[in-house]
């Protein structure tokens, strides 16, 4: 009985404990938040405070068709790493990853204008259509093209149809030879042009130099005189230095590697002389004779920012290598020979010789030669003014050529300003203001900068 009573009491006590202590419910675990990780980071990579200093990074969604701009761009701002949690708080609350959030996404309402103008992917891109050129620009382009053709034809006309120009240069070369030899016979060697790539070079043979002075062609006599001026053959005979404007333009010239141009002997005008063939020509594999010369505009250029381009723009003048010191040198030598008693020297024919040789071989344009001659005449107060009409009508008056003869050189007997046609009249309706007109060179506008060395003469450099 006692044992049964004790067992009953234990069962009652266990039942009482079960009712007094109900089971404790375990709160459900919050879900784990998973953040997508982009394969390409969308925030600047930096350390410490530099992460925020770099500023936000703007990323635009990539989609096709009209969806490209419907969602709007997404701006992602870099987020500083969170401060460390307190010691009493769990380091990873509710299962969140311990790495800092990569970015905060803030959608913007519209796409930027430059993206809105772009065609949607998959659509054909419209063909680029340039705007129509203005009548003034079209007229200028036409004039430039026709002027380049006319100048080349003018140079060839002087070489082939004006033999008195070659005779004039032989007269100047012969007078220069006698002037120099009267001072010092050894100086005549300074007329030698020993560079084979220079047009008209015949070497330093004394017999060849004398033949050039007496019977050389136009190309040879020009090279003969310029070599003498460059080498100091006329030291003491002339005190003309280069002008300030010429020095300024030479300082802006850009030099490039020399590129030789091969020309067959049958294509050279005037034909090669015997001395030129001996010194400067070579033979091809099939026995054809040729020369390799260098054009001036191939290794010397003027940048578009240089003043000659801006000065020539209102009047349409062609610009190559700038003002021609070689033209001034030829005129100065002819004037010295004239002052020393040489007869039958016409400075206008010397100017035509400079146009023929320099334009034919790419050293200068006719506009540059004519401007340089006018500048030289203004500085030396020459009786022959060598005037130049620096306008669209420049090719109508190049003395001693008549307007009728010059007209016959052009295409269909028309000048470049006439070939502009209807666009010319449209361009001329807007006259150029006087402040932007082509400059006129005078002794007051450009002072002479005489360069003197210990001998008193430095000469003109091309």
326 with 460: CB under 8 angstroms? yes
| Residues 245 and 323 sit within 8 Å (Cβ to Cβ) | yes
Going by the DSSP 8-state scheme, the letter that residue 12 receives in this structure is H
CB 67 within 8 A of CB 84: no
List Cα–Cα distances, 425 to 67, 138, 219, 396, 431, in angstroms. Answer: 53, 11, 40, 18, 11
Please give the full DSSP string across 301-350, using - where no structure is assigned.
E--TTSHHHHHHTTTT---SS-S-HHHHHHHHHHHHHHHTT--S--HHHH
Q: Is 76 helix (H, G, I), strand (E, B) or coil?
A: strand
CA distance 296 to 362: 5
CB 359 within 8 A of CB 152: yes
The predicted model scores a pTM of 0.65
Give which of 259, 283, 281 is closest to 203, Cα–Cα: 281
Return d(Cα 72, Cα 156) in angstroms, integer. 68
C-alpha closest to that of 220 among 332, 353, 331:
353
Query: Cα 32–34–36 angle (5° rounding)?
Result: 175
Contacts of residue 116, Cβ cutoff 8 Å, sequence gap at least 6: 69, 110
For the chain, give percent helix, strand, coil, nearest 5. Answer: 45, 10, 45
**pLDDT tens digits in sequence order for the chain, 462 residues long:** 566 667 776 777 776 665 555 555 666 676 655 555 455 444 444 444 444 444 444 444 444 444 444 444 444 545 455 555 555 444 444 444 445 545 444 444 444 444 444 445 455 555 655 566 777 778 888 899 999 999 999 999 999 999 999 999 999 999 999 999 999 999 999 999 999 999 999 999 999 999 999 999 999 999 999 999 999 999 888 776 655 667 777 777 777 788 888 999 999 989 999 999 999 999 999 999 999 998 887 778 888 878 888 888 888 999 998 899 999 999 999 999 998 888 889 999 999 999 999 999 999 999 999 999 999 998 887 777 799 999 999 999 999 999 999 999 999 899 998 887 655 555 455 444 443 334 444 333 333 332 223 223 233 333
243/443 Cα distance (integer angstroms): 10
């Amino acid at each position: 009985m006692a044992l049964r009573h004790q067992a009953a009491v234990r069962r009652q006590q266990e039942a009482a404990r079960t009712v007094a202590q109900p089971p404790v419910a375990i709160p459900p675990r919050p879900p784990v938040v998973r953040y997508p990780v982009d394969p390409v980071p969308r925030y600047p990579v930096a350390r410490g405070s530099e992460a925020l200093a770099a500023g936000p990074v703007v990323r635009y969604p990539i989609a096709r068709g009209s969806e490209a701009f419907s969602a709007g761009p997404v701006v992602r701002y870099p987020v500083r790493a969170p401060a460390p949690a307190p010691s009493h708080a769990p380091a990873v609350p509710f299962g969140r990853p311990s790495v800092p959030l990569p970015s905060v996404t803030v959608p913007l309402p519209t796409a930027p204008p430059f993206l809105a103008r772009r065609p949607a992917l998959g659509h054909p891109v419209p063909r680029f259509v340039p705007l129509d050129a203005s009548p003034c620009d079209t007229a200028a382009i036409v004039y430039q093209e026709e002027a380049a053709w006319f100048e080349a034809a003018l140079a060839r006309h002087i070489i082939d149809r004006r033999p008195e120009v070659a005779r004039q240069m032989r007269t100047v070369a012969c007078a220069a030879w006698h002037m120099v030899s009267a001072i010092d016979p050894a100086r005549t060697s300074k007329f030698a042009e020993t560079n084979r790539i220079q047009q008209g070079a015949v070497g330093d043979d004394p017999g060849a130099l004398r033949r050039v002075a007496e019977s050389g062609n136009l190309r040879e006599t020009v090279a003969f005189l310029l070599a003498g001026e460059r080498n100091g053959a006329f030291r003491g005979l002339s005190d003309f230095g280069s002008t300030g404007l010429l020095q300024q333009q030479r300082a802006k010239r850009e030099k490039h590697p020399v590129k030789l141009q091969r020309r067959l002997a049958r294509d050279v005008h005037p034909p090669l002389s015997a001395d030129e063939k001996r010194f400067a020509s070579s033979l091809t594999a099939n026995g054809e004779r040729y020369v390799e010369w260098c054009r001036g505009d191939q290794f010397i250029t003027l940048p578009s920012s240089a003043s000659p381009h801006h000065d020539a723009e209102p009047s349409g003048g062609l610009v190559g290598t700038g003002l021609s010191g070689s033209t001034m040198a030829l005129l100065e030598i002819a004037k010295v020979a004239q002052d020393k008693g040489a007869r039958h020297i016409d400075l206008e024919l010397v100017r035509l010789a400079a146009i023929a040789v320099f334009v034919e071989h790419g050293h200068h344009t006719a506009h540059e030669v004519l401007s340089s001659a006018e500048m030289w005449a203004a500085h030396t107060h020459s009786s022959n003014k060598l005037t130049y009409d620096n306008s669209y009508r420049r090719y109508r008056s190049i003395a001693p050529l008549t307007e009728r003869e010059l007209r016959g050189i052009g295409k269909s007997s028309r000048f470049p300003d006439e070939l502009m046609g209807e666009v010319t009249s449209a361009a001329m309706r807007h006259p150029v203001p006087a402040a932007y007109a082509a400059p006129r060179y005078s002794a007051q506008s450009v002072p002479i900068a005489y360069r003197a060395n210990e001998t008193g003469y430095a000469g003109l450099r091309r």
